[in-house]
Amino acid sequence: MKPHYPLASALLLSGGLPTLAHADFIADSKASVEMRNFYFNRDFRQSGARDKAEEWAQGFLLRMESGYTDGTVGFGIDALGMLGLKLDSGDGTAGSGLLPADGSGGSQDEYSKLGLTAKVKVSNSTLKAGALHFRSPIVSANDSRLLPQTFQGALLNVQEIDNLTLQGGKINRIKANSSTDYTEMTGNRIGGSSDSFVFGGGEYKITPQLTAGLHYGTLEDIYQQYYGTLLHVLPLGDGQSFKTDLRYSQSREDGNFRDLDNKAFGAMFTYSLGGHAFGAGYQRMSGDDPFPYIASSDPFLVNFVQINDFANTEERSWQVRYDYNFASIGIPGLTFMTRYISGDNVEVAGRSREGKEWERNTDIAYVVQNGPLKNLGLKWRNATVRSNFANDLDENRLILSYTLALW
């Protein structure tokens, strides 16, 4: 399938940048190629389910970012070229999300896509139009598979006032990780389809330790959402700190979509001591519906983890987490994380609020710090999920990555 080329980028490439020769445009440009070797294995443990999803693939990501032309208004172009190659996908084991389906129950041997982005800068503010990959409390692109997900639209970032960052924009299409086509957006778990997500908000650093945020988004004809955040880091001296991360949102229907009601509260507390970090979290869903967000994107929830989001109707969930950075004992680049999340009180059809689930995650990662293999990374991600209303899963992901700066 042919990749989509955003109109704004195409216009710039065809002559909208008369001053490409300016030094800042060239001197500030950068390019890199990232190689990802990704093995994915998901075992389905309950009776009556398929046996497993298992695939192995190689990905290449070429990122090119120009600087800006000289003058009060600067122009530039970014490009993201992606290629995915199948290394192994046996009969009946497709569907991992690494590769697109081939229409006969298997996966395609290869796929590629190109994202072009036009950008304009005035003072400390930038406007980007075309292919977008960004993260915010109201909408975030996913990057948990072989190739990243992208949006199509426009994104404005404004940083003209000290300690205040504003962001807003409009998205009209989404391209999934393993897809070459932009499609309309749908609501996760709640259905519906839309070609417009309008959003805006900002964060203000009240003190060096305290930041507050407020965001708003509307997936046209599906839902409206308000999101407030509060982040505080308390230094305790001697390599110690205590971080408090609070999140609250309210969501309701938009247009003529069916009645929708969700309130979500999340809190994560983390005590750090040297290379250790001990975390505890709580998440609560209230209302008649699950937490709404754009399907395939990442929700901004404290208990959104490797597989589950723990955002079902009326669900309550708890998390305990431990991180260790081995740099504290002289092994920089080696990190470890483990966490356990338990959810209950889920509304299940015919069983009132008897739904329960839990998930356990472990990540071990190492990035070479020096020498000819500098930036070579190896990560193992393991997850176990058990539920009385959804799939029981055991999952392993092994990711080998290397990023090479071209200039």
Q: Which domains does the chain have, with CATH numbers?
A: 209-407 (2.40.160.10)
pLDDT tens readout for residues 365-393: 999 999 999 999 999 999 999 999 999 99
pLDDT at 24: 86
Beta strand pairing call for 125-132 and 223-237: unpaired
pLDDT at 50: 81
Could you tell me which of 293, 78, 296 has the C-alpha nearest to residue 197? 293
Model confidence at 95: pLDDT above 70: yes
pLDDT tens readout for residues 227-237: 999 999 999 98
Model confidence at 22: pLDDT above 80: no
Could you tell me which of 253, 341, 248 has the C-alpha nearest to residue 292? 253
Q: Within 13 Å and on the Cβ side, how many CA atoms surround 254?
A: 23
Alpha-carbon distance 402 to 407, whole Å? 16
- Please give the average per-residue pLDDT across 291-315, as a whole number: 97
pLDDT tens readout for residues 166-215: 999 999 999 999 999 999 999 999 999 999 999 999 999 999 999 999 99
Among 45-49, 70-74, 263-267, which range has the highest average pLDDT? 263-267
The pTM score is: 0.91
Alpha-carbon distance 275 to 259, whole Å? 47
Secondary structure of the chain as H, E, C letters: CCCCCCHHHHHHHHHHCCCCCCHHHHHCCEEEEEEEEEEEEEEECCCCCCCEEEEEEEEEEEEEECCCCCCCEEEEEEEEEEEEEEEECCCCCCCCCCCCECCCCCECCEEEEEEEEEEEEECCEEEEEEEECCCCCCCCCCCCCCCCCEEEEEEEEEEEECCEEEEEEEEEEEECCCCCCCECEEECCCEEEECCEEEEEEEEEEECCEEEEEEEEEECCCEEEEEEEEEEEEEEECCEEEEEEEEEEEEEECCCCCCCEEEEEEEEEEEEECCEEEEEEEEEEECCCCCCCECCCCCCCCCCCCCCCCCCCCCEEEEEEEEEEHHHHCCCCEEEEEEEEEEEEECCCCCCCCEEEEEEEEEEEEECCCCCCCCEEEEEEEEEEEECCCCCEEEEEEEEEEEEECC
Between 89 and 141, where is the model more confident?
Answer: 141
pLDDT at 23: 58
Model confidence at 216: pLDDT above 70: yes
Per-residue confidence band for 143, with pLDDT thresholds at 50, 70 and 90? very high
Burial (CB count <10 Å: 0-12, 13-18, 19+), residue 270: middle
Beta strand pairing call for 150-161 and 164-175: antiparallel
Alpha-carbon distance 219 to 133, whole Å? 18
Model confidence at 20: pLDDT above 70: no
pLDDT at 349: 80
Per the structure block, which two tokens stand in for 272? Answer: 């750090």
pLDDT at 103: 79
Model confidence at 319: pLDDT above 80: yes
What is the sign of the dihedral through the CA atoms of 56, 81, 136 and 29? positive
Model confidence at 7: pLDDT above 60: no
pLDDT tens readout for residues 104-115: 888 999 999 999
